[in-house]
A and B are shown apart, each in its own frame.
Chain A
Amino acid sequence: MIKRSKKYSVFSLVKNAMSYHENWQPAWRNPEIKKEYDAIIVGGGGHGLTTAYYLAKNHGIRNIAVVEKGWIGGGNTGRNTTIIRSNYLWDQSAAIYDHALKLWEGMSQELNYNVMFSQRGVMNVAHNLHDVRELKRRWHANRLNGIDCEWLDTQGVKNFCPVINTSPNIRYPVLGATLQRRAGTARHDAVAWGYARGADDMGVDIIQNCEVTGINMSNGNVTGIETTKGTINSKKIGVVSAGHSSVIAKMAGIKLPLESRPLQALVSEPVKPVIDTVVMSNTIHAYVSQSDKGELVIGAGTDGYNSYSQRGGFNIVEDTIMAIVELFPLFSRMKMLRHWGGIVDICPDASPIISKTHINGLYFNCGWGTGGFKATPGSGWVFAHTIANDQPHALNSPFSINRFSSGELVDEHGAAAVAH
Chain B
Amino acid sequence: MLLINCPYCGEREQEEFSCGGEAHIERPKNPPELNDDQWADYLFLRQNIKGLQYERWNHSFGCRQWFNVARNTATDEILAVYKMGEKPPELKSNDPVTPCGEPAIGSGNFSTFKK
> Contact residues of A with B, CB < 8 Å?
69-71, 74, 209, 211-213, 228, 244, 246-248, 250-251, 255-260, 304-311, 313-315, 345, 348, 404-407
B 40-61 contacts with A by CB, 8 A: 40-41, 43-50, 53, 55
Residues in B neighbouring A71, C-beta threshold 8 A:
107
B1, B44, B101: which has the most chain A beta carbons within 10 Å? B44
Further contacts, 7 of them, CB under 8 A, given A209-B105, A255-B45: A246-B46, A246-B48, A255-B41, A308-B101, A309-B74, A313-B14, A404-B45
Task: Let me know if B46 and A257 touch, CB within 8 A.
Answer: yes
Q: Find A258's partner among B48, B53, B75 (CB 8 Å cutoff).
A: B48
One of A74, A247, A405 near B50 (C-beta < 8 A): A247
The interface size bin for chain B is 35 or more
Question: Which among A244, A306, A404 has the greatest number of chain B C-beta atoms within 10 A?
Answer: A306
Complex CA distance for A212 and B104, rounded to whole angstroms: 10
With A and B bound together, what is the CA distance between A228 and B104 in angstroms? 6
Given the complex of chains A and B, what is the CA–CA distance between A305 and B100 in angstroms? 18
Q: B70-115: which have CB < 8 Å to A?
A: 71, 73-76, 98-102, 104-107, 109
Interface of B (DSSP majority class) = loop
Known: A255-B45, A257-B45, A404-B45. A228 touches B15 (CB 8 A): no
Contact A213 B98 (CB under 8 A): yes
Closest chain-B Cβ to A166's Cβ sits at a distance in Å of 31
- Contacts A69-B102, A258-B48, A315-B15; is A306 near B107 (CB within 8 Å)? no
User: Chain A nearest CB: distance from B110 CB in Å?
Assistant: 10
Say whether, besides A70-B107, A308-B73, A251 and B99 are in contact (CB < 8 Å). Answer: yes
CB closest chain-A residue, reference B75: A309
Decide: A307 near B73, CB < 8 A? Known: A247-B99, A259-B21. Answer: yes
A-B contact pairs, 27 of them (CB 8 A): A70-B106, A70-B107, A211-B104, A244-B50, A244-B100, A246-B47, A246-B48, A246-B50, A247-B50, A247-B99, A250-B47, A250-B99, A251-B99, A255-B41, A256-B45, A257-B45, A305-B55, A307-B73, A307-B76, A308-B73, A309-B75, A309-B109, A311-B76, A313-B15, A404-B45, A405-B36, A405-B37
Assess A313 versus B2: contact at CB under 8 Å? Given A213-B99, A258-B48, A306-B21.
Answer: yes
Give Cα A244 to B98, complex, Å. 12
Given contacts A307-B76, A309-B73, contact A255 B107 (CB under 8 A): no
Residue of B nearest to A74 (CB): B107
A29 and B69 alpha carbons, distance in the complex (Å): 47
B60 to chain A, nearest CB (A): 10
Tell me the complex Cα distance, A404–B42, Å. 11
Which 10 pairs from chain A and chain B are nearest by CB? A70-B107, A246-B48, A257-B44, A305-B19, A313-B1, A405-B36, A405-B40, A404-B40, A255-B45, A404-B44
Counting CB contacts under 8 A, is B8 at the interface? no
Contact of B74 among A250, A255, A308, A404 (CB under 8 A): A308
Interface flags for B13-34 (1: CB within 8 Å of A; 0: not) read: 1110011010000000000000
A314 to B2, CA, bound (A): 10
A315 CB contact (under 8 Å) in B14, B18, B99: B14
Are B46 and A255 neighbours in the complex by a CB distance under 8 Å? yes
Closest to B39 in A: A405
Decide: A310 and B109 in contact? CB cutoff 8 A. yes
How far is it, in angstroms, between the C-alpha of A251 and the C-alpha of B21 when the chains are bound?
Answer: 22
User: Do B100 and A306 have beta carbons less than 8 Å apart?
Assistant: no
A244 CB to closest chain B CB (Å) equals 6
A251 contact set on B, CB distance < 8 A: 99
Q: For residue B2, which residues in chain A have a CB less than 8 angstroms away from its CB?
A: 305, 313
Contact partners of A259 in chain B: CB under 8 A: 21, 46, 48
A67 to B: closest C-beta gap in Å: 13
Which of chain B's residues has its CB closest to A316's CB?
B1
| A258–B46 touching, CB < 8 Å | yes
Q: A178 CA to B14 CA in the complex, in Å?
A: 35
Residues of B within 8 A of A250 (CB): 47, 99
Nearest B-chain residue to A210, judged by Cβ: B105
Task: Tell me the bound Cα distance from A256 to B73 in angstroms.
Answer: 17
Least distance between B96 CB and chain A CB atoms (Å): 9
Nearest-neighbor residue (CB-CB) of B19 within chain A = A305
- Among A69, A310, A314, A348, the residue within 8 A (CB) of B1 is A314
User: Closest residue of chain B to A255, judged by CB?
Assistant: B45
Q: How far is the CB of B67 from chain A (nearest CB, A)?
A: 14
A244 vs B109: C-alpha distance in the bound complex, in angstroms?
14
Provide the residues of chain A in CB contact with B109, threshold 8 Å.
Answer: 309-311
